[in-house]
């Protein structure tokens, strides 16, 4: 069962901060449960593990089975919240080396999350001679990056399988009624799944947005949803028994006391893309109105040999949140070596997990001593059930955190700025005035 | 030719800061060129592109050719500076999908950069049934992570090929005289390459540390070294014609004026691991004595849909340095679409590079307007020559930056802290007192 611990927090922030923050957390809690706070129209994720559409859920499983049956590759087209959650879960549970490994299911390639010609060309090569399907994920269907990529991969599919054949291989996750992709999907008779109206991109990993590619990769989505349900029930109860309260309270107090960077660390490299998901979740929810913790991530122990020096002795800007998983799926023990040239014989017979855990404890002590407060999320074994708990836990803590900070945790007004400029500079009709203005600024 | 530009910097920091900083940069420059500043005994990288050991360089190429001839995989064992540079260059020039692609050369697997049992197990599976070689990279041979991994992979090699056969497949990059790995390599008659005494890990990518795996991956290391040489000559001249001066001056002034986070962004996802290399370079060089910019990275446009909101409107902590490459290796143009359901027909006939570049300009304008100063590193075409220039440029700018900040840019005293704790907690002989002390702290 997921648990949150603080470590020697009394040496960093005034106690008892939990008591002081309880009334405000109670208000935040009510806003999330009732959906009547700022952005309340986007709190559909709060009861999603219980209330999700069961008919669609069955169709997700069927589509995943179909893809696994007829495809050596699934090309997933999406950006931001339509990308990070699925990739995070697949890498965390199946391995960052998933595509390289021998397995039953298809390779999963994520495209349309940038504008690199070479990156797209790579994936075109990788599906050459391989049967593949496409899952295009976009609420509107007009977001530039995925829309550009979808033009290429749709064409590839239709050239290879004909328009009829492609129909069996295109899965569109989009708005349930409106939008360019929905209209196109209906007219082309592609199977569609829903990006719910009441769930924003960064909270959507447990909808069809994340679940279809995750299930196609062979992950146990029942376990994921069950884990989320367990955490939903724990979070429905007000008070510090709820781990999301403990996390939200500690990080808010650290922020109030002057910390400006939160580093999410993990001693398992498979977690790397989940940390990217977390960065979007918290960065986009809190980072507005000149507020919010800057979210960064670290992959330990690798980054102890890169960012470690800064964390230990650089500017005292940051605290760390460390996600700890239980035993690895595979166990290896250090063998004794006759010569002991490397001096490691004191570890002979020890498992790598044992060494990893002592490294984690050593790091906790070193960083705390160096002035970096640590929060620890004990996440349990690295499996679908635990990850479902962890995802819901972070989402709920993020909602609470946004309300503590007095911002709307469910909007992202700043994301439009670069898009508007890009449209103008690309010569999109209707943006002519803005274009000249921007080009003048660039020329200055 | 690499160039550095600032954008509307006068709206952020007092001008003329370059003039004001010139005398201090001149002193920093002299320290680097003469090797007589703090940590001067570790400035061997300054003249490395000219002075490197030509005999060893030829052996690196020969070893790479041998590996390419007899191995389907090269397992590279190293952590920190013995890992990030090589991985960064291979991914940047050959693709992050290098291992998935059809090619002449071996797959390159990086291990020993963490303590994950599952990550190591993955690579053991991946070399199952594949002829492989090992390049173990460690100055001392006793750093825990690589030493543990090397025990496993050495055993695997010796079981498969016998001790004699393994001898042909183990390449040790280590100290030229001392240390556990050097002693072992000599007694086992493995071919060795040198981690020079006067070059620290994070400045070592253009020594055998980086060059052997990079060459084994089929990268043109002559181009890399030539690019570095060109930049070395540019940097030998004092003054703002040197791009490293311009970068060091602007970032230092931004730091002095209150910025605490530097985000290194790139619109090419192949750059991701180079950004990790950069984070070690700057974080470890500057992050000490309660000083230094916190180094973060972003992969655009993907991260405009995750970190973008925070960058646009969150706490005004940061500035951005954006590395821009020229044309992609492959060109794709958006095809017209009859229905134009996605509304992208205004882009028909446009190349993805064109769209990428307009996105970059739009982002530059949006972020600058949002209060985030931008520095731009025009890096040229993404090839070996340009990357060699870029690597040397960042190294030189980092040396200058450390001296501007009045720290030793070549030590890393804080990296020891977690190691010492870890040794004690693991029960390493000689650490008994410390162990009880630490265990008491953990129990509190």
DSSP sequence for B56-102:
HHHHHHHHHHHHHHH-SEEEEE--GGGTHHHHHHHHHHH-TTGGGS-
Q: Does the distance separating the beta carbons of A420 and B125 come in below 8 Å?
A: no
Contact B283, A306 (CB under 8 A): yes
- Among B152, B185, B219, the domain boundary falls at B219
Given a cut of 70, the residues of chain A with pLDDT beneath it are none
- B271 lies in the same domain as B204: no
pLDDT reading at B444 higher than 90: no
Q: Which residues of chain B neighbour A289 with C-beta distances below 8 Å?
A: 313
The whole-number pLDDT of residue B319 equals 98
At CA B141, angle to CA B138 and CA B142, rounded to 5? Answer: 120
- A22 lies in the same domain as A157: no
Q: Does the distance separating the beta carbons of B311 and A295 come in below 8 Å?
A: no
Task: State the average pLDDT over residues B130-152.
Answer: 96
Q: Does the distance separating the beta carbons of B313 and A288 come in below 8 Å?
A: yes
pLDDT band at B395 (very low <50, low <70, confident <90, very high): very high
CATH number at residue A235: 3.40.50.10490
The whole-number pLDDT of residue B390 equals 98
- A76 lies in the same domain as A10: no
Q: Does the distance separating the beta carbons of A442 and B365 come in below 8 Å?
A: yes
Q: Answer yes or no: is A17 within a domain.
A: yes
Which of A54, A305, A315, A441 is catalytic? The answer is A305
Nearest-CA distance A301 → chain B (Å) = 5
Q: pTM value?
A: 0.98
Q: Answer yes or no: is B418 within a domain.
A: no
Which of A189, A291, A419, A439 is catalytic? The answer is A419
Bridge partner residues of B174 (DSSP): B194
Q: Does the distance separating the beta carbons of B118 and A330 come in below 8 Å?
A: yes
Contact A188, A352 (CB under 8 A): no
DSSP string, B251-290: HHHHHHTT--EEEEEES-GGGHHHHHHHHHHHHHHH--TT
Q: Answer yes or no: is B415 within a domain.
A: no
- A302 → closest Cβ in B113, B313, B426: B113
Q: Which residues of chain B neighbour A318 with C-beta distances below 8 Å?
A: 294
CB atoms within 10 A of CB A253: 22
- Tell me, what DSSP letter sits at residue B46? S
For chains A and B, what is the number of CB pairs under 8 angstroms? 454
- B280 → closest Cβ in A260, A290, A306: A306
Pairing mode of beta strands A191-194, A170-174? parallel
Q: List residues of B with catalytic annotation.
A: 284, 305, 419
Q: Answer yes or no: is B381 within a domain.
A: yes
- A266 lies in the same domain as A170: no
- A307 lies in the same domain as A366: yes
- A133 lies in the same domain as A114: yes
- Among A204, A219, A234, the domain boundary falls at A219
For B108, nearest residue in chain A (alpha carbons): A100
Q: Does the distance separating the beta carbons of A427 and B332 come in below 8 Å?
A: no
Task: State the average pLDDT over residues B75-96.
Answer: 98
Q: Answer yes or no: is B443 within a domain.
A: no
Which residue do the tokens 């030229």 mark? Answer: B176
pLDDT reading at B39 higher than 90: yes
* Alpha-carbon span A361 to B424, nearest angstrom: 11
- Looking at the predicted complex, does its ipTM rise above 0.85? yes
Q: Does the distance separating the beta carbons of B296 and A335 come in below 8 Å?
A: no
Q: Which residues of chain B neighbour A96 with C-beta distances below 8 Å?
A: 119
- A358 lies in the same domain as A209: no
Q: Does the distance separating the beta carbons of A80 and B418 come in below 8 Å?
A: no
For chain A, how many structural domains are there in total? 2
pLDDT reading at B84 higher than 90: yes
Q: Answer yes or no: is A415 within a domain.
A: no
* Alpha-carbon span B18 to B98, nearest angstrom: 42
Q: Answer yes or no: is A384 within a domain.
A: yes
pLDDT digits (tens, 9 = 90+) for B411-434: 999 999 999 999 999 999 999 999
Q: Which residues of chain A neighbour B99 with C-beta distances below 8 Å?
A: 100
Q: Indicate which of B148, B260, B270, B362 best probes the interface with A, i.e. most A CBs within 10 Å of its own CB.
A: B362
Nearest-CA distance B405 → chain A (Å) = 12
Nearest-CA distance B324 → chain A (Å) = 12
For B186, nearest residue in chain A (alpha carbons): A341
* C-alpha separations of B105 from B85, B99, B102, B108 in Å: 19, 10, 9, 9
pLDDT band at B351 (very low <50, low <70, confident <90, very high): very high
Q: Does the distance separating the beta carbons of A415 and B312 come in below 8 Å?
A: yes
Nearest-CA distance A214 → chain B (Å) = 20
- A327 lies in the same domain as A389: yes
Contact B287, B409 (CB under 8 A): no
- B215 lies in the same domain as B323: no
- B186 lies in the same domain as B247: no
- A140 lies in the same domain as A173: yes
A284 is catalytic: yes
The encoded tokens of residue A268 equal 């398992």
- Among A164, A199, A219, the domain boundary falls at A219
Q: Does the distance separating the beta carbons of A350 and B414 come in below 8 Å?
A: no
pLDDT digits (tens, 9 = 90+) for B154-197: 999 999 999 999 999 999 999 999 999 999 999 999 999 999 99
Q: Answer yes or no: is B427 within a domain.
A: no
The encoded tokens of residue B65 equal 């050719």
Q: Which domain range does residue A196 map to?
A: 48-219
The whole-number pLDDT of residue A444 equals 83
- A197 lies in the same domain as A238: no
A367 is catalytic: no
The whole-number pLDDT of residue A349 equals 96
């Amino acid at each position: 069962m997921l648990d949150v611990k603080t470590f020697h927090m009394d040496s960093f922030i005034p106690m008892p901060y939990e008591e002081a923050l309880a009334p405000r957390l109670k208000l935040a809690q009510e806003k999330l449960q009732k959906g009547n706070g700022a952005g309340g129209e986007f709190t559909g994720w709060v009861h999603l593990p219980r209330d999700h559409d069961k008919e669609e859920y069955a169709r997700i499983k069927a589509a995943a089975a179909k893809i696994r049956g007829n495809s050596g590759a699934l090309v997933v087209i999406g950006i931001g919240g339509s990308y990070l959650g699925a990739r995070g879960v697949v890498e965390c549970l199946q391995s960052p080396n998933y595509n390289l490994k021998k397995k039953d299911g298809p390779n999963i390639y994520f495209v349309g999350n940038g504008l690199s010609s070479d990156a797209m060309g790579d994936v075109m090569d990788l599906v050459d001679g391989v049967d593949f399907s496409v899952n295009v994920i976009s609420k509107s269907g007009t977001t530039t990056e995925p829309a550009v990529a979808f033009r290429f991969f749709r064409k590839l599919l239709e050239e290879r399988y004909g328009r009829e054949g492609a129909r069996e291989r295109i899965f569109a996750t989009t708005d349930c009624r409106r939008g360019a992709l929905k209209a196109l999907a209906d007219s082309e008779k592609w199977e569609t799944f829903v990006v719910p109206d009441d769930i924003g991109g960064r909270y959507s990993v447990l909808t069809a947005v994340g679940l279809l590619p995750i299930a196609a990769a062979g992950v146990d989505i029942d376990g994921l949803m069950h884990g989320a349900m367990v955490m939903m029930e724990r979070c429905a109860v007000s008070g510090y028994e709820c781990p999301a309260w403990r996390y939200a309270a500690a990080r808010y107090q650290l922020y109030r006391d002057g910390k400006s960077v939160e580093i999410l660390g993990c001693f398992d490299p498979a977690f790397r893309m989940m940390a990217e998901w977390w960065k979007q979740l918290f960065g986009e929810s809190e980072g507005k109105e000149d507020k919010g913790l800057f979210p960064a991530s670290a992959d330990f122990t690798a980054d102890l040999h890169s960012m470690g020096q800064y964390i230990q002795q650089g500017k005292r800007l940051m605290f760390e949140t460390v996600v700890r998983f239980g035993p690895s799926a595979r166990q290896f023990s250090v063998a004794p070596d006759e010569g002991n040239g490397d001096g490691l014989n004191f570890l002979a017979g020890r498992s790598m997990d044992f060494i990893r855990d002592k490294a984690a404890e050593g790091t906790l002590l070193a960083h705390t001593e160096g002035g970096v407060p640590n929060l620890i999320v004990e996440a349990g074994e690295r499996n679908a059930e635990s990850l479902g708990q962890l995802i819901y836990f972070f989402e709920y803590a993020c909602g609470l955190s946004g309300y503590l900070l007095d911002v709307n945790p469910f909007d992202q007004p700043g994301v439009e700025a670069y898009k508007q400029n890009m449209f103008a500079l690309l010569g999109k009709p209707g943006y002519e005035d803005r274009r000249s203005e921007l080009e003048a600024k660039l020329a200055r």
